[in-house]
Amino acid sequence: MLTDGASKSRLGSGHILVRPTESNGARLVDATVNCPHMSPPLWALNTCLGLHAAGSRHVVYVPDNPLSHVLAVLRDRYPDVQTTIATREEEAFGIAAGLYLGGQRPTVMLQSSGLGNSINALTSLLVPYQMPMLVLISMRGDAGEWNAAQVPMGRAVERICHAIGLQTTTVASAEDVADTVALVGKTAFMTRLPGVCLLPRRVTVPAPKVVA
């Protein structure tokens, strides 16, 4: 339901843009979801290209809005990649550990806020027993974040990973995603340690351009 003073426009099936009017002083809200009539964003296309190039054919994930674009591309263009939804992040890492033991090269996708839920699984299972996987983290709390509750964990992600012995690599741009993801994944499977690739908001949710 829209609050008083808000306007709604529909841009194709499943795509709703909610814009509170200036009279209520509310923040602009973009409540968009995947639309079958819209082309996938370049960063999502390249994320799928990169994980596929790294040899990953099974993705375990906890739902996240930007990562839904990746899932849509996998569903439509990569029939050889299986996806499994998890209810919590530590569960996702546990499932991925089982996939690795079964001979797979798994990928885990999660939001940065869920890293805290994953610490025990990472430090007591994956790291000491050298279970590699590609870890894609959709960042919150970095530049452009509107939710203050996301900032503390978002700022701590890299330091937490480094403290437990995991290397992190941050994607520089949408054009660089494929090469970066592939390199992180291949390195992880060669070194038998989880490889963490950070997807910053400037890439997954680019801010509107400032015009004069």
Helices (H), the chain: 42-53, 67-77, 89-101, 115-121, 151-163, 177-191, 201-204
Maximum distance among all Cα pairs of the chain, rounded to whole angstroms: 58
pLDDT band at 145 (very low <50, low <70, confident <90, very high): confident
Where residue 26 falls among pLDDT bands split at 50, 70, 90? Answer: very low
Distance, CA of 98 to chain centre = 21
Strand partners, 138: 111, 199
Confidence (pLDDT) at 147: 85
State the helix-helix crossing angle for 42-53 and 177-191, rounded to 10 degrees: 30
Torsion, CA 113, CA 119, CA 121, CA 127, rounded to 10 = 120
Whether the per-residue pLDDT at 27 is higher than 70: the answer is: no
Question: What are the tens digits of pLDDT across the range 69-116?
Answer: 999 999 999 999 999 999 999 999 999 999 999 999 999 999 999 999
Q: Are 81 and 56 in contact (CB under 8 A)?
A: yes
Spatial contact of 66 and 199, defined as CB atoms under 8 Å apart = yes
How far is 51 from 58, CA to CA, in rounded Å?
A: 10
Cα(93)–Cα(122) distance, integer angstroms: 8
pTM greater than the 0.85 cutoff: no
- Rounded CA separation 135/49 (Å): 15
pLDDT at 36: 53
Task: Give yes or no for a contact between 125 and 97, defined as CB atoms under 8 angstroms apart.
Answer: yes
**Dihedral, CA of residue 33, residue 168, residue 86 and residue 48, to nearest 10:** 50
pLDDT given at position 37: 61
Confidence band (pLDDT; 50, 70, 90) for 152? confident
Mean pLDDT score, 17-28 = 38
Q: What's the confidence (pLDDT) of residue 24?
A: 41
Average pLDDT, the chain: 85
Lowest mean pLDDT among 95-109, 120-134, 140-154, 194-208: 140-154
What are the pLDDT digits (tens) for 37-53? 679 999 999 999 999 99
CA distances in angstroms from 126 to 48, 110, 145, 162, listed in the order given:
23, 16, 30, 15
Q: What pLDDT was estimated at residue 10?
A: 32
pLDDT at 32 over 90: no
pLDDT at 38: 77
| Domains of the chain, CATH where assigned | 1-33 (no CATH), 42-204 (3.40.50.970)
